[in-house]
Amino acid sequence: MDESKTVTPILGNRYQLIQNIGNGGMAVVYHARDLMLERPVAIKVLRQDYSRNEAFRERFRTEAKAAANLSHPNIVTVHDFGFDSERLYLVMEYVPGTDLKTILKERVRLPVEEAVNITIQAAAGIGYAHRAGLIHCDVKPHNILVTPDQRVKVTDFGIARAMASIQPDEKHDVVWGSPLYFSPEQASGAAPSPASDVYSLGVVLYELITGRLPFHSSDPAELARMHREAVPVPPRRLNPDVPLALEQIVMKVLAKEPSARYRTADQLGRVLSSFLQSMETIKATPLQDSGPIAVSRLHSAPNSNGFPLQPVSEITEVDGEEESINIDWGTTGLALATFVAVGGLIPFWLWIWFTFNPPTP
C-alpha cells in the first residue's frame, strides 16, 4: 500500500497537504500550506515504523529542535515539528527547485566552475551548522537543492546531532549516513565530526566534476571497506578538463584520516573560493600580443601550508625576436645636462685663475 495516500490531509489542525513531491527510505515529503500563517511549506512525514518507536521519536524531537535553530541562506529552515495520526512530521521552508541528484541524472556531470560554485554554497551552509555545534551526517546530492536562480540550500538536518553530546571515543551500532557518500569513520561506526561532512562534500564534488562516484558497489559492506581502504581514481583521469589544482583539493578532502582533510566545511569553502577566483582572474587577464604563443595552461603545486598555489598562466614563445633596447631618456638627459653644466664651468675657472695669476713675461 502506498503510505503517501494514508496520511491525514491536514496535520496538527494547521498544515494542509497539497502534493507529494518526494519519497525516501524514511519519509514522504509534501508540498503543503500553513493555514495559520498562510504560506507554502514543505512537510516531511516519517514512515510509521519509525514514528511508532518511542526512543526514535524522542531523538527526532531533539534533532528537530537543534535544526530549527539554524538560520542561514544556504540551509532549508525548519519551522515546526509534531506528531499526528501516529506520524512524526517536520515542517520546513518550501524551496522551489531541484535536488542535485536529479540534476546529475539529467546532465551526468557539470562544468568545473558550476560544480565548484555549488559546493562552495553547500559548504557555507554546512559550515554554519558546524559553528553551531551540529554535524549533518548525511551530506549527499539528494539533500542539496538548487533553486532556479542558482541558490543552493542544504536540507535534511533531521539526523544531525549536537556535537556536545558526542564523546570522542563513542561507537554506534547504527551507522549514520548513506553508504555511497559517508566517511571512512562513519563506515567504521565511529563518531562523526565536521571532517566527516567535509569528506561527504568531497564525494559530492567528485561526482559533480567526473559524473562518477569515487566508490561504487551493490554491497554496503564492500562500500564501507572501500571508503576505509581504497584509493579513488584521480578526477583528471575521468575528466581531463579538471584543473590539477582542483584535483589536489578533492584528493585531500577524500583522505582516509580526518586530520588529513580540511577540518571544517568553512575551511573547504575558503579553499574552493580561492581556486574559483584564480580561474576567473586568469580568464579575465588579456594576453600580450608580442609573438607566437605556444601554450598557456593552468597548473598548481602545494605551497608551504599544504594548500594549492594559485593557478598561473605560462606563456612560451617560439621564434622569439631579440628584446628591444629600452633607453631611459630621462636619465640620459640628466647626464648630458650635468656634463654641459660642468663643462661650462671649466672656462670660467680658467679665466679667474689667469686674472689673479697672470703669466709672467
Count CB-CB contacts under 10 A for residue 305.
7
Q: Per-domain residue ranges for the chain?
A: 3-93, 98-284
What is the Cα–Cα distance from 136 to 19, expressed in whole angstroms? 27
The position carrying cell 586568469 is 282
Q: pLDDT tens across 71-107, in order? A: 999 999 999 999 998 888 999 999 999 999 999 999 9
Is 3.30.200.20 the CATH number for 3-93? yes
Whether residue 296 is predicted with pLDDT greater than 70 in this model: the reply is: no
**Distance from CA of residue 21 to its chain's centroid?**
27
Catalytic residues: 138
Q: pLDDT tens across 204-244, in order? A: 999 999 999 999 999 999 999 999 999 999 999 999 999 99
Q: pLDDT tens across 251-270, in order? A: 999 999 999 999 999 999 99
- Say if CB 254 and CB 196 are below 8 A apart: no
Q: Which residues contact 150 (CB under 8 A, 6 or more apart)?
A: 117
Is 1.10.510.10 the CATH number for 98-284? yes
More confident of the two residues 341 and 300 = 341
Q: At what angle do helices 194-210 and 265-284 cross, to 10 degrees?
A: 30
What is the Cα–Cα distance from 161 to 67, expressed in whole angstroms? 9
What's 275-299 look like in SS3? HHHHHHHHHHCCCCCCCCECCCCCC
**287-293: long-range contacts at Cβ-Cβ below 8 A with a sequence spacing of 24 or more?**
287/315, 290/317, 291/317, 291/318, 291/319, 291/320, 291/321, 292/317, 292/318, 292/319, 293/317
What is the Cα–Cα distance from 199 to 253, expressed in whole angstroms? 6
Predicted confidence band of residue 344 (pLDDT cuts 50, 70, 90): low
What is the Cα–Cα distance from 354 to 348, expressed in whole angstroms? 10
Average pLDDT over residues 293-306: 40
Q: How many percent of the chain have pLDDT more than 70?
A: 71
Whether residue 359 is predicted with pLDDT greater than 80 in this model: the reply is: no
- Name, of 105-114, 190-199, 334-343, the range with top average pLDDT: 105-114
Whether residue 304 is predicted with pLDDT greater than 50 in this model: the reply is: no
Distances (CA, A) of 69 to 78, 92, 200, 343: 8, 12, 23, 85
Q: pLDDT tens across 105-164, in order? A: 999 999 999 999 999 999 999 999 999 989 998 899 999 999 999 999 999 885 545 333
